[in-house]
């Protein structure tokens, strides 16, 4: 049995708990193979309610009482960004593996301290870059690695949401740099940055511009007292790979008309690939060698190696991608391998996030350090 301490139970904590429950059914594991031992939140009443929903016996307000337990093997961190470093370092020092929500930290300096603790303790760390695990994205990765598109010329990606269009939406931790470390780039944008490096490799330099349309918001719902917003809601980034391929990232949480819109396109001298989260079960491919010109819609649906239920014909969605990301992490622990996405992936994304912010501040190109 693998015991998990779940720290934080907001939207992402609930998503992780759902995924742990589902993994056993997807892969035919014994009912007690994965168990959430306890849950920690900052308020007793929310911890108690979380434990009722999860079906675990322990509900606490101090996560330290969970991570010291012998029946806890993994600490799952689903808290705001400003607490990641403290919890991950404490878990590592307790000899526990860690599964952490993206991004790894608020800053590169924090991320490097976390990495030092993970390596010193010889434990493993996995990250919630779950969008890697849509079958379309896995198939795109396979095709790129097999040379289907040839020499890569360009990569274009976007992550659009409309969650902060309303100027009356009150302040929250994601709108405060001290808690979040930044805005759209470090939050949803981390997924887009990871998808880029997962598919096409390293990014050598970036040039960015950012903006925040609503620079002041109510301190609380219905309040007339206003607070300054010190993070970005929009980012437009040019990028260049070490091989000279060019690209763009567009990130926005004030994208009118969007819901949860992730899209990418990779173009090379032999072909091209296109994916959109709004069509999660179809990968679009273009082959210059084919006599039939035009993009072809290729079904991928639920094609996961070893999956027992649902069968491969079932369409997939975000919850299934979460379950797969968590399963791959658990499987790496069970098999004694390094997880992927893992610590190095988290650091690489963190370096690029910091480069984007340095570029936006200088209005010039910036390299990850």
* 80-94: b (≥16 Cβ within 10 Å) or e: bbbbbbebbbbbbeb
* 15-26: b (≥16 Cβ within 10 Å) or e: bbbebbebbbeb
For domain 2-129, give the fold. Answer: Rossmann fold (3.40.50)
State how far the Cα of 311 lies from the Cα of 94, in Å rounded to an integer: 39
> Is domain 131-312+339-362 in CATH 3.30.360.10, yes or no?
yes
Please report the pLDDT score of residue 54 as a whole number. 97
Please report the pLDDT score of residue 33 as a whole number. 97
Going by C-alpha positions, the residue among 14, 245, 54, 81 that lies closest to residue 151 is: 245
Does the predicted model carry a pTM greater than 0.95?
yes
3-class secondary-structure state, position 299: strand
Residue 32: partners with Cβ closer than 8 Å, 6 or more residues away: 1
Q: What is the pLDDT of residues 102-146, one digit of tens each?
A: 999 999 999 999 999 999 999 999 999 999 999 999 999 999 999
What is the pLDDT confidence band of residue 88, given thresholds at 50, 70 and 90? very high
Please report the pLDDT score of residue 94 as a whole number. 98
Whether 329 and 23 have beta carbons less than 8 Å apart is answered as no
Count CA atoms closer than 13 A to 100's CA, side-chain side.
35
Q: What is the pLDDT of residues 301-332, one digit of tens each?
A: 999 999 999 999 999 999 999 999 999 999 99
What is the pLDDT confidence band of residue 96, given thresholds at 50, 70 and 90? very high
Stretch(es) of the chain classified as CATH 3.40.50.720: 2-129
Q: What tokens were used for 33?
A: 């193979």
Phi, psi dihedrals of residue 245, rounded to the nearest 5°: -70, 145
- What value does the mean pLDDT of the chain take? 97
What is the pLDDT confidence band of residue 22, given thresholds at 50, 70 and 90? very high
Q: What tokens were used for 249?
A: 């990232």
Please report the pLDDT score of residue 114 as a whole number. 98
Please report the pLDDT score of residue 9 as a whole number. 98
Going by C-alpha positions, the residue among 323, 324, 352, 309 that lies closest to residue 21 is: 323
Q: What is the pLDDT of residues 338-364, one digit of tens each?
A: 999 999 999 999 999 999 999 999 999
Percent of the chain scoring above 90 in pLDDT:
100
Please report the pLDDT score of residue 272 as a whole number. 98
Q: What is the pLDDT of residues 250-277, one digit of tens each?
A: 999 999 999 999 999 999 999 999 999 9
Stretch(es) of the chain classified as CATH 3.30.360.10: 131-312+339-362
Please report the pLDDT score of residue 138 as a whole number. 98
Going by C-alpha positions, the residue among 123, 150, 86, 167 that lies closest to residue 332 is: 123
Mean pLDDT calculated for residue range 68-81: 98
């Amino acid at each position: 049995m693998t015991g998990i301490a779940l720290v934080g139970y907001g939207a992402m904590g609930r998503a992780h708990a759902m995924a742990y429950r589902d993994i056993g059914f997807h892969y035919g594991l014994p009912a007690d193979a994965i168990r959430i031992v306890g849950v920690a939140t900052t308020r007793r009443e929310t911890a108690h309610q979380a434990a009722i929903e999860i079906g675990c016996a322990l509900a606490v307000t101090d996560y330290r009482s969970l991570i010291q337990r012998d029946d806890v093997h993994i600490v799952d961190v689903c808290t705001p960004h400003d607490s990641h470093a403290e919890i991950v370092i404490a878990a590592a020092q307790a000899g526990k593996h860690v599964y952490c929500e993206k991004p790894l930290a608020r800053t590169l300096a924090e991320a490097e301290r976390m990495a030092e603790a993970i390596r010193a303790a010889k434990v493993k760390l996995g990250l919630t870059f779950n969008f890697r695990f849509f079958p379309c994205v896995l198939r795109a990765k396979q095709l790129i690695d097999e040379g289907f598109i040839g020499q890569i010329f360009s990569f274009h990606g976007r992550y659009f949401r409309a969650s902060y269009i309303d100027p009356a939406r009150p302040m929250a931790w994601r709108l405060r740099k001290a808690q979040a470390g930044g805005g759209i780039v470090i939050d949803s944008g981390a997924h887009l940055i990871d998808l880029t490096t997962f598919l096409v490799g390293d990014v050598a330099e970036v040039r960015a511009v950012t903006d925040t349309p609503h620079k002041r918001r109510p301190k609380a719902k219905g309040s007339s007292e206003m607070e300054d917003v010190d993070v970005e809601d929009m980012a437009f980034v040019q990028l260049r790979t070490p091989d000279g391929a060019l690209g763009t990232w567009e990130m926005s949480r004030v994208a009118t008309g969007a819901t949860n819109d992730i899209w990418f396109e990779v173009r090379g001298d032999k072909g091209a690939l296109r994916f959109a989260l709004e069509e999660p079960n179809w990968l679009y491919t273009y082959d210059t060698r084919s006599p039939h010109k035009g993009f072809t819609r290729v079904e991928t649906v639920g094609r996961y190696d070893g999956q027992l239920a649902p069968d491969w014909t079932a369409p997939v969605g975000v919850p299934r991608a979460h379950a797969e990301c968590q399963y791959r992490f658990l499987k790496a622990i069970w098999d004694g391998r390094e997880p992927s996405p893992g610590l190095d992936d988290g650091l690489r994304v963190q370096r690029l996030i910091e480069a984007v912010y340095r570029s936006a501040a200088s209005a010039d190109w910036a390299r990850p350090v």
